[in-house]
A and B are shown apart, each in its own frame.
Chain A
Amino acid sequence: MEHLPQDPRPWPVRRDTALQDTVLQTTLTHVTHRLNNARIAAYRHYPSGEAARIRAIARKREAIQDWSVLLDRAEEEITAHGGHVKRAATPEAVGAYVLEIARQHSVKRVIKSKSMVTEEVQLNAQLEAAGLDVRETDLGEYIIQLAHEKPSHILAPAAHKNRQQIQRLFVDTVADAGEEVSEDIQELTRFARNKLRQDFLSADMGITGGNFLVAETGTVVVITNEGNADMVTTMPRVLVSIIGIEKIVQDWDALEDIIQQPALSGVGQRLSSYTTIISGPRARESWEGPDEWHVVLLDNGRRKIHGGPYQDVLSCIRCGACLNVCPVFQQVGGHGYGSVYSGPIGTVLSPLLGGMDAFGELPSHLCTMCYACQEACPMDIPLPHEIISLRETAVSERREPAAVRTQYRLWGQAWSTATGYRRSVTAARLAQRLAIRRVGLAAGWLHTRTMPFVSSVTFLEDWAKKHRRGSS
């Protein structure tokens, strides 16, 4: 299994499919604008929020730097509370471990709260292949699970669908024969809630992701706006929390600042509607909670990033703010990226986790270098510079067509001297006279845009002529 699932369609196909999808174009514009405006308003109405954000960045960067020690501490604490910790290096290791627990407990039905890391390891596919019945309980994830699709937005997985499509999907997949399904959004939500109630009550195992892992108490924190994680963590007999190792946070003091950031930047709320805190399985004297709690700590390429030039990317809290402001994301949506991690963060993270062979085209083709993501990122991750750096890697690994590489080399060489620059002006004029314009990189421009001609007298030529006698 690959480290990160990859859409087999090549980029031009993914791109053109997205650009021609009129529903997608409408829903994407709506979702990204709504979330982005909410983010801006939330910070505006929270004057001390900026100070909290700055503290959050500092604490998160420290936690990443010291993650070895903190992860050991978290493991000790979890174990002391009666939990079990598994360190998993690969997607297969996660799947094998969860399946083994399922076997021990004769699990048939699994319910899940929203988790990007389980999308990353394709957990549902792994569990279903072994005959388990898996149900997503976040509304957006529920929708894309029924549609057999991947998330199109880190935070809003079904952002590419409108309510008419969702209504039809419900009718086609989960509605009973003859059951009416309304197109009204509230009614659709009510419908999904009624269906999911049955799944919650009949499940044997709950699976969560984790937004934060607090080292000092060995606590997993899951934030949602639907409250579904509360039921996933309390109703089934067995609970498994699967967490990327970069989710580590040193203590509750740090968490206080960091936990605000995904809510503020993701949905424009001071706090998410529900905060689910898991510190252990049901205690002997307690009535509620799972009999067993397992915490899977996933590496899957993260340790390779640690200590290198992209370490800051491990501070990402998956708020999706960079997606909402990205001009390219707004055009092609998450499926355009061919990775479960989309938008600017996906453009950096996907090749780092999944390799340049699979995702090397993302930095080159899905970024206009507008810096909007860096401005929006609450964790100050230098995404544009990381994208440039990945482009440099692509160049040094000779991933561009040879002709393109040659053009850059010749162009760069020529324009590093005044003589070369002047010669290139002469050459361009000659090409223009011979009507040779659709060549090399310029051809890409000309299909859709008029190209200006090199001036008959450039500014520098004109200046030189007028000031030839040295009087500037």
Chain B
Amino acid sequence: MAKAALFVTCLVDLFEPQTGHAAVEVLDRHGWQVEVLGNQTCCGQFAYNAGHLQEARAMAQHFVEVFESSDADALIGLSGSCTAMVIHEYPDLLRRAGQSRGDSSEESESWALRAQAVGERLVEFGEWLHHEESLPLPAVKPETVAVHHGCHMRRILGSTEETDDVLRSYGAQLAEYPDAEQCCGFGGTYSMTEPVVSTKLADAKRTALSQAKAAGASCLVSGDWGCLLHLSGRMQHEGDSWPVLHVAEWINQREKMSAKKGE
């Protein structure tokens, strides 16, 4: 039995644990044994993007230590952005941060290589599911949904089509809306340090999404809780209760519906 270590992410752990539980159920249904490393915290992207390199370094080193201890066949990340951070930013971050605090180049390089090795085993949830064979379950009736891909899923991982394919294979009809590739304005702590522009961008995204809603989309689905918390936070503030779901939750719902139908 293949084993997956779940990279839960801090946002899922703290605010949206149901996403973690949904991912575990999906992994389980696909025959994977799930490992959850209890010492995991946060990838440190919030600090890295804000220019706090040494804080980011400390979190990155912790992440590397935690996940390299696992013998799992794959590390599966529940966020496109955090997954991109580990795979694409860690090695260079650890080199630069080590250099700037005066570590020896051997030590920095060793951290960079360890991070690279961890990154090579890491895959984002939607991408992982794209590589899985589909379950022998009966199809359930199609559902129209709106999808928002985080910018790092789109532009750093480049894996938006994989997630779209997966969603379609589970009967999703993806509602179109203008400027879908545009940032929602979250931007990590940018949402807190520059709330005016951040909120304006959330509103622009909501205006665009209203077309998907008008086309019958039942909910907004994304592989990133960063974007979703920002957008749903804005929606709730404005009295809009349109549901938002992580990809893992939506897939889990569909698998459950199929399984029930197959009984």
Partner-B contacts on A (CB < 8 A) = 12, 15-16, 19, 327-328, 331-332, 363-372, 374-375, 388, 390-395, 404, 408-409, 411-413, 415-418, 420-421, 425, 428, 441-445, 447-455, 457-460, 462-464, 467, 472
Task: Decide if A415 touches B155 in the complex (CB within 8 Å).
Answer: no
Task: Decide if B61 touches A454 in the complex (CB within 8 Å).
Answer: no
With A368-B185, A369-B190, A411-B47 as contacts: A452 and B15 at CB distance below 8 Å: yes
Q: Which of A390, A443, A454, A455 gathers most chain B CB within 10 Å?
A: A455
Q: Which of B50, B189, B202 gathers most chain A CB within 10 Å?
A: B50
Choose from A428, A448, A463 the contact partner of B195 (Cβ within 8 Å): A448
Q: Report A-chain residues with C-beta under 8 Å of the C-beta of B188.
A: 369
Partner-A contacts on B (CB < 8 A) = 8, 10, 12-17, 19-21, 34-36, 38-42, 44, 46-56, 58-59, 61-62, 66, 151-152, 155-156, 181-183, 185-202, 204, 229-230, 232-234, 236-237
Task: Decide if A459 touches B55 in the complex (CB within 8 Å).
Answer: no
Task: Decide if A391 touches B14 in the complex (CB within 8 Å).
Answer: no
Choose from B15, B19, B42, B194 the contact partner of A421 (Cβ within 8 Å): B42
**B1 CB to nearest A CB, Å:** 13
User: Please, how many angstroms separate the alpha-carbon atoms of A140 and B41 in the complex?
Assistant: 52
User: Please, how many angstroms separate the alpha-carbon atoms of A185 and B84 in the complex?
Assistant: 46
Q: Can you list 7 A-B pairs, Cβ within 8 angstroms, ordered by A?
A: A364-B194, A408-B50, A411-B46, A413-B58, A450-B237, A459-B12, A467-B36
Task: Decide if B47 touches A327 in the complex (CB within 8 Å).
Answer: no
Choose from B13, B182, B191, B199 the contact partner of A459 (Cβ within 8 Å): B13
User: Please, how many angstroms separate the alpha-carbon atoms of A124 and B52 in the complex?
Assistant: 41
By beta carbon, the residue of chain B nearest A390 is: B51
Q: Report B-chain residues with C-beta under 8 Å of the C-beta of A442.
A: 192
**B140 CB to nearest A CB, Å:** 27
By beta carbon, the residue of chain A nearest B230 is: A449
Task: Decide if A460 touches B36 in the complex (CB within 8 Å).
Answer: yes
**A126 CB to nearest B CB, Å:** 34
With A411-B47, A462-B17 as contacts: A372 and B197 at CB distance below 8 Å: no
Task: Decide if A388 touches B183 in the complex (CB within 8 Å).
Answer: no
**A16 CB to nearest B CB, Å:** 7
Task: Decide if A415 touches B10 in the complex (CB within 8 Å).
Answer: yes
Q: Report B-chain residues with C-beta under 8 Å of the C-beta of A441.
A: 189, 192-193
Choose from A332, A374, A390 the contact partner of B155 (Cβ within 8 Å): A374
**B179 CB to nearest A CB, Å:** 8
Choose from A331, A428, A445, A464 the contact partner of B201 (Cβ within 8 Å): A331
User: Please, how many angstroms separate the alpha-carbon atoms of A442 and B233 in the complex?
Assistant: 13
By beta carbon, the residue of chain B nearest A399 is: B51
By beta carbon, the residue of chain A nearest B15 is: A452
With A372-B155, A445-B192, A449-B237 as contacts: A463 and B49 at CB distance below 8 Å: no
User: Please, how many angstroms separate the alpha-carbon atoms of A367 and B185 in the complex?
Assistant: 9
User: Please, how many angstroms separate the alpha-carbon atoms of A335 and B21 in the complex?
Assistant: 47
Q: Report A-chain residues with C-beta under 8 Å of the C-beta of B16.
A: 452, 455
Q: Report A-chain residues with C-beta under 8 Å of the C-beta of B204.
A: 327, 331
Task: Decide if A328 touches B17 in the complex (CB within 8 Å).
Answer: no
By beta carbon, the residue of chain A nearest B23 is: A459
Q: Report B-chain residues with C-beta under 8 Å of the C-beta of A366.
A: 194, 197
Choose from B21, B152, B191 the contact partner of A444 (Cβ within 8 Å): B191
Q: Report B-chain residues with C-beta under 8 Å of the C-beta of A374.
A: 155
By beta carbon, the residue of chain A nearest B179 is: A33
With A455-B14, A458-B14 as contacts: A417 and B155 at CB distance below 8 Å: no
Task: Decide if A464 touches B38 in the complex (CB within 8 Å).
Answer: yes
**B236 CB to nearest A CB, Å:** 4
By beta carbon, the residue of chain A nearest B192 is: A444
By beta carbon, the residue of chain A nearest B20 is: A459
Task: Decide if B151 touches A371 in the complex (CB within 8 Å).
Answer: yes
Task: Decide if B8 touches A370 in the complex (CB within 8 Å).
Answer: no
9 more A-B residue pairs beyond the given contacts A457-B17, A467-B36, with a C-beta to C-beta distance below 8 A: A368-B198, A374-B155, A388-B48, A390-B51, A391-B49, A394-B51, A416-B55, A460-B38, A464-B38
User: Please, how many angstroms separate the alpha-carbon atoms of A459 and B14 in the complex?
Assistant: 7
With A457-B17, A460-B8 as contacts: A328 and B234 at CB distance below 8 Å: no
Q: Report A-chain residues with C-beta under 8 Å of the C-beta of B181.
A: 372
Closest 7 CB pairs of A and B: A412-B55, A391-B51, A449-B233, A368-B187, A370-B183, A444-B192, A459-B17
Q: Report A-chain residues with C-beta under 8 Å of the C-beta of B49.
A: 369, 388, 391
Q: Report A-chain residues with C-beta under 8 Å of the C-beta of B36.
A: 459-460, 463, 467, 472
Q: Which of B61, B198, B199 gathers most chain A CB within 10 Å?
A: B198
User: Please, how many angstroms separate the alpha-carbon atoms of A223 and B227 in the complex?
Assistant: 41
Choose from A327, A392, A413 the contact partner of B182 (Cβ within 8 Å): A327
Choose from B59, B182, B186, B193 the contact partner of A412 (Cβ within 8 Å): B59
Q: Report A-chain residues with C-beta under 8 Å of the C-beta of B200.
A: 19, 331
User: Please, how many angstroms separate the alpha-carbon atoms of A448 and B183 in the complex?
Assistant: 18
By beta carbon, the residue of chain B nearest A16 is: B196
Task: Decide if A455 touches B42 in the complex (CB within 8 Å).
Answer: no
Task: Decide if A412 touches B185 in the complex (CB within 8 Å).
Answer: no
By beta carbon, the residue of chain A nearest B151 is: A370
Q: Report A-chain residues with C-beta under 8 Å of the C-beta of B8.
A: 459-460
Q: Which of A374, A393, A458, A463 gathers most chain B CB within 10 Å?
A: A463
Q: Report B-chain residues with C-beta under 8 Å of the C-beta of A443.
A: 192
**B131 CB to nearest A CB, Å:** 23
Q: Which of B58, B152, B190 gathers most chain A CB within 10 Å?
A: B190
Task: Decide if B42 touches A415 in the complex (CB within 8 Å).
Answer: yes
**B161 CB to nearest A CB, Å:** 15
User: Please, how many angstroms separate the alpha-carbon atoms of A376 and B183 in the complex?
Assistant: 14
Task: Decide if B15 touches A454 in the complex (CB within 8 Å).
Answer: yes
